[in-house]
């Protein structure tokens, strides 16, 4: 039985879904007595180091977790869960960690922070045992973080070089940590989870991975989906967008004349299979109709995807964000609510971590510049886009979703000057949206527009191109992508 620590600071549903796909039994661990019924333990984490440790203390789990690990029982920390294994973190210097691994976590000094997206993981040693049994020498995994263990950290098992270089996996005895999200890293991530599930027996002694014998990914499949040609770089992301209205996928031009484009769960699952790096769900009418996000739909999508997905539309407060996190959303996107209450950005970043918070900016050309709009581009807000982008960065946003209203749905290409201007104005990663007509448009906005990711809808919904075909074309253009 695999325990999943439930302390209000992790995306449990996605870890649960990964174990379900592998046919592995799990149980939530919310109190010390729950540890008695599990053989191994997963410690997930989303948010701030200090807040997470506070919740662990409130649950009475700090000492029992230390005892569990020090008794040689297998434990795996994921993302923030890995950072909690150390003695402390620069994010909250006064807070003591679990101290299962010597050393402290430091802030990433990267060109773009938070570090969000797919990056190469390079195991440092034999891959014939433990977590990396059956994986390629180098593979891409999904990250979303601003802090990490430095390269010289004790027990480093894998490094990631983007730059900067940081530890992406660590081990001390039977305690493991991974800075990436294996539950959101596709077939390779599932293989890592499967290896950990057998951590008390075969994989740690060099035996066959359980994933090679049962459900889930095989080692042959793992070899086929390793890193791309540009292996030393963080991959640029291709993100299909599902605009949702009335529980269905819709698409129009400049958010008008919407037409039905299918079932969102089926669409999301198909895009996952086709190689999407993320999926974006936008409830396009939620703000106008003043209703809550579609939690039931989010849960259904979370059960099906092996890659991350974000949710936007109608999100107005921290409680709604928390419900979406618990339903399985990896990140949330706020637009109208952020304009009406900019402090919401800071409060969300404090509660869930900057990497969880995307601010959506709908930009409408005005003279030589661009103006912020809301409610699907229907209301002008009298705010300059570049000024607003800089402000949301100061407030703690983790990423900007930049939609060119003038180009949306036209297939005439992204607004390159707009995207480049915003990308140069901030150090946040920027997702370009609006106007994709083909692979060449995505290549231009990623290279000339300096975007970190390209979002598209119509070209994928209508079957004009496949995601896999677009990524092959991007690779030929010299764009680092995950294949």
> What is the set of active-site residues?
243, 362
Q: Give the number of other CB atoms < 10 A from CB of residue 326.
A: 18
d(CA 405, CA 256): 11
Pick from 1, 97, 7: which is nearest to 325 by CA?
Answer: 7
- Helix 467-476 with 439-447: angle, nearest 10 deg: 50
**Cis-peptide, bond into residue 261, ω within 30° of zero:** no
- Both tokens of 124, joined, read 């440092």
d(CA 221, CA 212): 10
Beta bridge partners, 240, equal 456
Kindly give, in sequence order, each residue whose CB lies less than 8 Å from that of residue 443, ignoring residues fewer than 6 positions away.
473, 474, 477, 479
Kindly give, in sequence order, each residue whose CB lies less than 8 Å from that of residue 350, ignoring residues fewer than 6 positions away.
48, 51, 396
Q: Check if the beta carbon of residue 53 is closer than 8 Å to that of residue 84.
A: yes
| DSSP structure string for 306-363 | SS-EEEESS--SHHHHHHHHHHT-SEEEESHHHHH-THHHHHHHHHH-GGGEEEEEEE
Pick from 243, 240, 237: which is nearest to 255 by CA?
Answer: 243
Q: Check if the beta carbon of residue 23 is closer than 8 Å to that of residue 193.
A: no
- Both tokens of 191, joined, read 């293989």
Pair type for strands 248-253 and 256-262: antiparallel
- 412-449 per-residue burial string, b: 16 or more CB within 10 A, e: under 16: ebbbbebbbbbbebbebbbbbbbbbbbbebbbbbbeeb
d(CA 165, CA 411): 38
Angle among Cα 215, 195, 168 to the nearest 5 degrees reads: 125
d(CA 115, CA 399): 10
- Could you tell me the CA-to-CA distances from 24 to 77, 162, 207, 219, 361 in Å, in that order? 18, 33, 18, 18, 41
- The residue length of the chain stands at 483
């Amino acid at each position: 039985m695999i325990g999943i620590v439930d302390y209000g600071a992790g995306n449990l549903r996605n870890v649960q879904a990964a174990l379900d796909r592998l046919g592995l039994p799990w149980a939530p661990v919310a109190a010390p007595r729950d540890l008695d019924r599990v053989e191994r333990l997963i410690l997930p984490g989303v948010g701030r180091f200090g807040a997470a440790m506070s919740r662990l203390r409130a649950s009475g789990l700090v000492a029992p977790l230390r005892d569990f690990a020090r008794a040689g029982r297998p434990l795996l920390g994921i993302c923030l869960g890995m950072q909690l294994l150390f003695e402390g973190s620069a994010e909250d210097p006064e807070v003591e960690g679990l101290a299962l691994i010597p050393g402290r976590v430091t802030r990433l000094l990267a060109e773009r922070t938070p570090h969000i997206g797919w990056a190469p993981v390079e195991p440092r040693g034999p891959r014939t045992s433990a977590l990396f049994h059956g994986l390629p020498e180098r593979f891409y995994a999904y990250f979303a973080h601003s802090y990490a263990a430095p390269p010289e950290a004790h027990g480093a098992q894998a490094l990631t070089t983007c730059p900067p270089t940081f530890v992406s996996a660590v081990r001390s005895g039977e305690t493991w940590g991974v800075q990436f999200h294996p539950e959101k890293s596709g077939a390779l991530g599932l293989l890592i989870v499967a290896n950990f599930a057998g951590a008390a027996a075969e994989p740690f002694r060099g035996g066959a991975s359980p994933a090679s014998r049962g459900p889930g990914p095989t080692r042959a499949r793992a070899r086929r989906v390793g890193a791309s040609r540009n292996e030393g770089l963080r991959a640029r992301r291709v993100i299909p967008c599902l605009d949702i209205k009335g529980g269905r996928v819709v698409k129009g031009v400049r958010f008008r004349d919407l037409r039905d484009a299918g079932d969102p769960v089926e669409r999301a699952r198909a895009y996952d299979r086709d190689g999407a790096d993320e999926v974006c769900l936008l409830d396009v009418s939620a703000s106008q109709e003043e209703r809550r996000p579609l939690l039931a739909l989010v849960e259904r999508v979370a059960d099906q995807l092996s890659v991350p997905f974000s949710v936007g539309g109608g999100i107005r407060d921290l409680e709604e964000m928390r419900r979406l996190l618990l339903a399985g959303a990896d990140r949330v996107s706020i637009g109208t609510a952020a304009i009406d209450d900019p402090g919401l950005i800071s409060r969300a970043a404090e509660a869930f971590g900057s990497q969880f918070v995307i601010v959506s900016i709908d930009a409408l050309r005005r003279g030589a510049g661009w103006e912020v709009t809301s409610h699907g581009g229907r209301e002008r807000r009298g705010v300059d886009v570049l000024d607003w982008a800089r402000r949301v960065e100061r407030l703690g946003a983790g990423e900007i979703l930049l939609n060119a209203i003038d180009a949306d749905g036209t297939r005439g290409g992204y607004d390159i000057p707009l995207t480049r201007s915003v990308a140069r104005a901030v150090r946040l990663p920027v997702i370009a949206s609006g106007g994709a007509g083909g692979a060449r448009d995505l290549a231009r906005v990623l290279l000339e527009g300096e975007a970190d990711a390209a979002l598209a809808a119509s070209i994928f919904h209508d079957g004009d191109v496949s995601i896999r075909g677009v990524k092959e074309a991007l690779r030929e253009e010299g764009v680092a992508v995950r294949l």
